[in-house]
Structure 1
Amino acid sequence: MRKLRFVFNLLILTAICILLPPIAARGGHSDYIQLGDRNSSFHGTGRSLFSQEERRPSLELARGYMTNDGLEKAMKDFTKRCSKISRLYSIGKSVNGFPLWVIEISDRPGEIEAEPAFKYIGNVHGDEPVGRELLLRLANWICDNYEKDPLAQMIVENVHLHIMPSLNPDGFSVRKRNNANNVDLNRDFPDQFFPINEDLSLRQPETRAIMTWLRDIRFTASATLHGGALVANFPWDGTEDKRKYYYACPDDETFRFLARIYSKSHRNMSLSNEFQEGITNGAGWYPIYGGMQDWNYIHGGCFELTLEISDNKWPKASELPTIWEYNRMSMLNLVASLVKTGVHGRIFSLDQGKPLPGLVVIKGINYTVKAHQAYADYHRLLAPGQKYEVTASSPGYKPKTTSVWLGENAVTADFILIPEASARGNLLRSICDCSYKNYNQPLLTHLFTETNNVITFMLIVVVAFLCFLLQRRVRFNLWKQRQSSRRSVTV
């Protein structure tokens, strides 16, 4: 009798396990994916550390989504229709040779300006296609509204927005998570904790394209669009001991602020019962290694979020208009945050009055932001409502520090750095001090009693006048760069 009861209970348990709804790769649920837990210590709420064999979505479910050829045509048609504020370019090719297309949106596309840059990337996983559809809708919405909508106008005029709808066209074409080499692209980047993928030649072409892209363009922030949950994820994505717990990066407060911008602008992300405020630390959800998000922050100087934008990884195409409306303001507000908040400015040299490439650090935050090599502009994202001590430095110059109170609006803090002490530098600074208190009376008496006292006096006047013109030039350059909407500080 006991044996029969044991067999009966075992059959019931087996049936329950079979009938349980499958779990999607990044949380939430899916109507087609089946995953196994290869290591229970890494098992979080839906995300999976390892890549597993997955059952592909049916052709019926994929109907209504743009094909790779259709997406390429749509992007080319867009840049023709909206050529005034956009351009189309490719950062490389997939394993199967499909171009990795990017749309840039700006009032001066293709030019380098003293403005922040933002990138959106979709379809990192081939079986998460919602992002590619939403990103093309975002581009078209901005094109249709930038002349009449203040938010769209702000983005076009003050940000260089780069949109890559599909990083994994090969995976999408066969409706599978990994690329054509069966590699998960979000596990293929160099990792800070474990020496994986250290050999550049072994990385996937899509991964190498992203890494080269960030060397060519200095992005201030970015986001990748995934599916399978509804949450804004931020670094760190992994832990040193591979255990699951909240592991904060140096800019944890800033990342929480950015994640909340997206979540609270969304129709219902912030109402999540699973994630407080609709945001999560990646390692606190479940740790992954070789991810794009942490690599961007460490090596690219780019603040990146991983956005899970739909509970279903591959919803029916008829649901896309609704998903777009739920995410539209979140996507726009996240890009606009680059100019609506934070500390921004440029670094100049006092001796030449030219832009000076340098570094910007915030006291108490172990993270350095680099100013642009050509324009020396920097864009430091920070959580508002605090006082920050900002220091700018450059080799050969004395660092300068200023304190700013960051409220709800952005602050401009420009720096004019003085050369380090040297024989030539001391002479230059003494002349450009534009103050006669540095010249003692005996020296002046000696000068004016010499036979060439008139010439000496004229030289002093000329040098003082040149110094005056130089300072005016520096201040004029700073004034041209300031935006009227920001509170400005010059140090």
Structure 2
Amino acid sequence: MLNWKGFLAASLLLSGSAFANDGMIVRFDLTNSMKTFLRANEFDITGVNYNTNEIEALLTPEELKIIESQKANIKFSYPQKLSLNPDSEYKNPGEIEDFVRAIHAKYPDITELKSIGKSLEGRDIWAIKISDNADLDEHEPVFFVNGMHHAREVMTPEITTDMVEYLTSNYGKNAEVTSWVNNTEIWVIPMVNVDGNNKMWNEDSMWRKNTRNGFGVDINRNYPTGWNSCSGSSSNTYAQDYRGTGPGSEPETQAMMNFVAAVKPVFSISYHSYSEIVLYPFGCKPRKTPTEEAVESIGAEIAKKLDYKPGTPWELLYNADGGDIDWMYVEHQVIPYVIEVNSTFAGFHPNYARWRDKTVLRNRPGWMHLLTKLQGPSLQGVVGVGDYQVIKIMKAGETKVSQTYKINPDGSYYVILKPGTYDVSFEGRKIQKFTGIDVKAKRSFNL
């Protein structure tokens, strides 16, 4: 085991200075007390490893002294500047734009290209739609995937662009892919934090936030639901999880919110790194997981396929307020997940040749599983606009409503359910009741 003082002496020999302005990646035993201590001091927790029961943080020399005063068991440490900078093969914002434009040009009949808004520095945030009639709204269920809320997490656009490439290149050749594309509207935003990623490439390889006033805002602590509610973000402008001056203050957050409100996804995945975990609402303790059984059970199914660990952010990491999955779930009934790819052995900047293909192949079963789920047990259809506002669902034989679903403004609805028998009530200006509906696959009611 290497203690920090011994490594400091070694790094002096290697670099001629101790740490300069760089930090250290430090690894500890994963304990609740260590997680609590790191969060209470607003230290930058970079990832966890549940296979080895370890937690890592990016610390300055001053922060490391505070840790030492707690007599913490430091298992491994190395200066940030001795770690790998990202390989140039990973995509920057310009290359993301080139990629989506090239895909759209190659597959114009099944793709639509859209800028969902501008970043602080005026860059487009690109979204690409994949569907058999991409320029039409066919009231099909929407599946939404995004990458890189955090600028240093360079593997996440690789997952999203691999998904785009796989679906478009296999359409018409693979029966399963063809069915997904024909029956779903698939939206992918490969890179949310375009300004932050540009800064990561050109100024600071560990940059996480957007570029607001030089110090940046953590976009994934800026969503309105639960904003600043559970010590799951910081008011310190230089903290890595600085939440901003108010909920939804950042143009990147606003662009995402407007987009989700417009397309109304059924499922979403937001890719992050690193920790090899699948997260679902809620971010704040002691809020329980959502009442819809499907949210937790499907999260566990994804985790099993990836050999990741499932749970809420507060269970597996720490309290996190103002995150996108809580906002999407509460405001728009999305069943949302964060998937943290790669382990502490790979980190933020894994060697491209060694890790890229391995990571995207490992993660394909996750997004594929949700596309398959959209063909499974559910209630879906279209009702007259203004006729009905909500759907109330009870398990057959019970008197307590287990789920209330707000019908979309265009009259469409798509409710994911576990297999079973349900009593269903459409309510609003009109009322329709259905008793003992057996849900084994998609059930449609067009009223």
The answer to whether the aligner puts 1:400 opposite 2:436 as a matched pair is no
Kept in 2, the 8 Å contact 1:342–1:382? The answer is yes
Provide structure 1 residue ranges, at least 5 long, that are not aligned to the other structure.
1-10, 41-53, 241-245, 270-277, 349-353, 417-491
Identity %: 21
Q: Could you tell me which amino acid in structure 1 is paired with residue 407 of structure 2? A: A
Kept in 1, the 8 Å contact 2:218–2:244? The answer is no
Cross-structure match for 1:215: 261
Q: How does 1:105-254 map to 2 (within 5 A)?
A: 105-175=130-200, 176-181=207-212, 182-192=216-226, 194=228, 203-239=249-285, 247-251=288-292, 253-254=293-294
Aligned alpha-carbon RMSD (Å) = 3.3
Alignment partners' CA distance in 2, 1:217 and 1:57: 44
Alignment partners' CA distance in 1, 2:372 and 2:131: 13
Kept in 2, the 8 Å contact 1:360–1:390? The answer is yes
Q: Could you tell me which amino acid in structure 1 is paired with residue 226 of structure 2? A: Q
Kept in 2, the 8 Å contact 1:347–1:392? The answer is no
Alignment partners' CA distance in 2, 1:148 and 1:337: 21
Counterpart selection for 1:341 from 362, 377, 402: 377
Q: TM-score, normalised by structure 2?
A: 0.74
Cross-structure match for 1:382: 417
Alignment partners' CA distance in 1, 2:414 and 2:294: 13
Q: Could you tell me which amino acid in structure 2 is paired with residue 358 of structure 1? A: Q
Shift of 1:221: 1.6
Q: Could you tell me which amino acid in structure 2 is paired with residue 27 of structure 1? A: V
Shift of 1:79: 0.5
Alignment partners' CA distance in 2, 1:237 and 1:94: 26
Q: Could you tell me which amino acid in structure 2 is paired with residue 145 of structure 1? A: N
Kept in 2, the 8 Å contact 1:187–1:288? The answer is yes
Q: Secondary structure at the match of 2:320?
A: coil
Cross-structure match for 1:427: none
Question: Against the structure 1 CA distance between its residues 56 and 341, is the aligned structure 2 distance closer, same or farther, given a 3 Å change threshold?
Answer: farther
Kept in 1, the 8 Å contact 2:426–2:433? The answer is yes
Kept in 2, the 8 Å contact 1:232–1:259? The answer is yes
Kept in 2, the 8 Å contact 1:392–1:415? The answer is no
Q: Could you tell me which amino acid in structure 1 is paired with residue 290 of structure 2? A: C
Kept in 1, the 8 Å contact 2:148–2:271? The answer is yes
Q: Could you tell me which amino acid in structure 2 is paired with residue 279 of structure 1? A: P
Kept in 1, the 8 Å contact 2:268–2:336? The answer is yes
Cross-structure match for 1:310: 342
Counterpart selection for 1:262 from 302, 306, 313: 302
Q: Could you tell me which amino acid in structure 1 is paired with residue 342 of structure 2? A: S
Alignment partners' CA distance in 2, 1:287 and 1:401: 41
Kept in 1, the 8 Å contact 2:227–2:322? The answer is no
Alignment partners' CA distance in 1, 2:165 and 2:25: 42
Q: TM-score, normalised by structure 1?
A: 0.67
Kept in 2, the 8 Å contact 1:344–1:377? The answer is yes
Cross-structure match for 2:126: 101
Q: Secondary structure at the match of 1:21?
A: strand
Question: Against the structure 1 CA distance between its residues 19 and 356, is the aligned structure 2 distance closer, same or farther, given a 3 Å change threshold?
Answer: closer
Shift of 1:13: 8.4
Q: Could you tell me which amino acid in structure 2 is paired with residue 155 of structure 1? A: W
Alignment partners' CA distance in 2, 1:56 and 1:205: 32
Cross-structure match for 2:88: 63
Alignment partners' CA distance in 1, 2:98 and 2:56: 30
Q: Secondary structure at the match of 1:62?
A: coil
Q: Secondary structure at the match of 1:229?
A: coil
Question: Against the structure 1 CA distance between its residues 194 and 12, is the aligned structure 2 distance closer, same or farther, given a 3 Å change threshold?
Answer: closer
Most deviating of 311-320 and 162-171: 311-320
Cross-structure match for 1:25: 46
Q: Could you tell me which amino acid in structure 2 is paired with residue 370 of structure 1? A: K
Count of residues in Structure 1 that have an aligned counterpart in Structure 2: 368
Question: Against the structure 1 CA distance between its residues 212 and 414, is the aligned structure 2 distance closer, same or farther, given a 3 Å change threshold?
Answer: same
Kept in 2, the 8 Å contact 1:116–1:159? The answer is yes
Question: Against the structure 1 CA distance between its residues 193 and 84, is the aligned structure 2 distance closer, same or farther, given a 3 Å change threshold?
Answer: closer
Q: Secondary structure at the match of 1:288?
A: coil
Shift of 1:71: 1.4
Kept in 1, the 8 Å contact 2:425–2:434? The answer is yes
Alignment partners' CA distance in 1, 2:391 and 2:323: 26
Alignment partners' CA distance in 1, 2:247 and 2:408: 29
Shift of 1:134: 1.6
Q: Could you tell me which amino acid in structure 1 is paired with residue 422 of structure 2? A: Y
Cross-structure match for 2:33: none
Shift of 1:404: 2.5
Question: Against the structure 1 CA distance between its residues 63 and 12, is the aligned structure 2 distance closer, same or farther, given a 3 Å change threshold?
Answer: closer
The answer to whether the aligner puts 1:300 opposite 2:332 as a matched pair is yes
Shift of 1:93: 1.2
Kept in 2, the 8 Å contact 1:32–1:57? The answer is no
Alignment partners' CA distance in 2, 1:356 and 1:379: 17
Q: Could you tell me which amino acid in structure 1 is paired with residue 258 of structure 2? A: T
Larger radius of gyration: 1
The answer to whether the aligner puts 1:283 opposite 2:324 as a matched pair is no
Kept in 1, the 8 Å contact 2:221–2:227? The answer is no
Question: Against the structure 1 CA distance between its residues 12 and 232, is the aligned structure 2 distance closer, same or farther, given a 3 Å change threshold?
Answer: closer
Q: Which has the larger strand fraction?
A: 2
The answer to whether the aligner puts 1:323 opposite 2:351 as a matched pair is no
Q: Per-residue displacement from partner, 1:160-212 (whole Å, max 9, x unpaired)?
A: 00000100011112221111121111110113375697987861110011111
